[in-house]
Amino acid sequence: MPAKQFIGVQILRFIAAMLVVVMHTTEAISVRITGEGPDHYWTGGAIGVDIFFVISGFVMAMSTARLPSGNQTQFQAAWIFLKRRLLRVAPLYWFYTLLKAALVLILPSLALRSSIDTGHLFASLFFIPAISPWGLVQPTLPVGWTLNFEMLFYLVFAIGIAWGVARIKFCFFVFLLVFVAAQLFPESVALNFYGKSLLFEFILGMGIAHVYLNYPPVSPKMGLLAAIVGTTLILGINWGDPILGFSTWEAGAGFTVLVAVWLEPWIARLRLASRLSFLGDSSYSIYLSHTFAVPFGVLMLKKLGFQESLLIIPIICLLVIACGCISYLLIESPMTNFLKRAFFKRPSFSL
């Protein structure tokens, strides 16, 4: 049985991607137009990443809720799960990473970070955290740092499937070990990179799926209450405090996804629901391609004499959405469909 499709969650994917886009647009404006430098920008858009991670945990738990039992079938299911995630995430990321490397070599003046190191490039392609030529633990395509977290989650999740254990408990235990190890061995690049509270956002998403699957349906009206709580956590508390960090943005992202799930009966009835869902389908392309569209668009607007951020930001957002949808229709979707046909034969069970 195929997993239930949540239009609200799909729309939330798009919103999360655009929050990141707006953040990077303000950074580009600060660097290219106002001259204030890369440290002066709207950091609030980073909440989009938190939402992405919660959604990922929710979707993975929902899509694997009814797997068959039996050791051989469990290992087969784990392998199929990993292959599906790799084919969904890696090819488009590799495409844009190699495009970034090529453009940096050809037009280095357009890139904020214009150094390419072969070892670092290969580490980026294989989702290995490594120190970049510009001194940060970032891949060649900087936004790809989130995919390193995703791949770790997929690997741990797949091991849970193969062992036939409760995946939410198993993932929490492994992530807790990583988090503690990072505090004990801060000199380790990989542990220091992964040892963040961000890991537990996947657990929040899995928890939302667990509640949805195992408890009676909740009235959509409860979604409005969850929206108030989530907004309060995100906006009304000093989320920058390191001690309160997880209790604010991470929890706020969790409530945001919960809102989308609980309001699904209302959202599904919206006239524009299917079109908005398409933007959610395009969100991965939007997320990866905006790293090219944003600086190009800002430079073009600068040449045209645009100086006002309130004008530049919506224009760039429209450009990014157009580029992301084109990327989805012409690159991501055909590539994914081709690879699915090439690497999969239909399993004896659904995943």
pLDDT at 53 over 70: yes
Range of the domain at 82: 7-343
Q: Which pLDDT value is given to residue 202?
A: 97
Please state, in angstroms and rounded to a whole number, the distance separating the CA atoms of residues 351 and 293. Answer: 35
Nearest to 156 by CA among 164, 141, 167, 147: 167
pLDDT at 20 over 60: yes
Q: Which residues contact 222 (CB under 8 A, 6 or more apart)?
A: 262
Q: Is residue 2 part of a domain?
A: no
Q: Read off the pLDDT of each residue in 293-300 and give the average, rounded to a whole number.
A: 94
Q: Is residue 1 part of a domain?
A: no
Q: Is residue 106 part of a domain?
A: yes
Q: Which pLDDT value is given to residue 18?
A: 97
Q: Which pLDDT value is given to residue 35?
A: 81
pLDDT at 112 over 70: no
Q: Read off the pLDDT of each residue in 36-42 and give the average, rounded to a whole number.
A: 81
Predicted model pTM: 0.92
Q: Read off the pLDDT of each residue in 150-165 and give the average, rounded to a whole number.
A: 96
> Phi and psi for 164 in degrees, rounded to 5?
70, 30
- Mapped onto helix, strand or coil, the DSSP state of residue 61 is helix
> Phi and psi for 154 in degrees, rounded to 5?
-60, -40
Helices 47-63 and 145-163, packing angle to 10 deg: 20
pLDDT at 119 over 60: yes
Place 345 in a pLDDT band, splitting at 50, 70 and 90: low
Q: Which pLDDT value is given to residue 333?
A: 96
Domain count along the chain: 1
pLDDT digits (tens, 9 = 90+) for 3-17: 578 999 999 999 999
Q: Is residue 149 part of a domain?
A: yes
Q: Residue 125 in contact with residue 96, Cβ under 8 Å?
A: no
Q: Which pLDDT value is given to residue 111?
A: 63
Question: What is the phi-psi region of residue 70: left when phi exceeds 0, alpha when psi lies from -120 to 50, beta otherwise?
Answer: left
Q: Is residue 349 part of a domain?
A: no
Higher pLDDT residue, 174 or 307?
174
pLDDT digits (tens, 9 = 90+) for 242-278: 444 456 778 889 999 999 999 999 998 888 888 889 9
Q: Is residue 83 part of a domain?
A: yes
Q: Which pLDDT value is given to residue 36?
A: 84
Q: Which pLDDT value is given to residue 221?
A: 86
Q: Which pLDDT value is given to residue 239?
A: 47
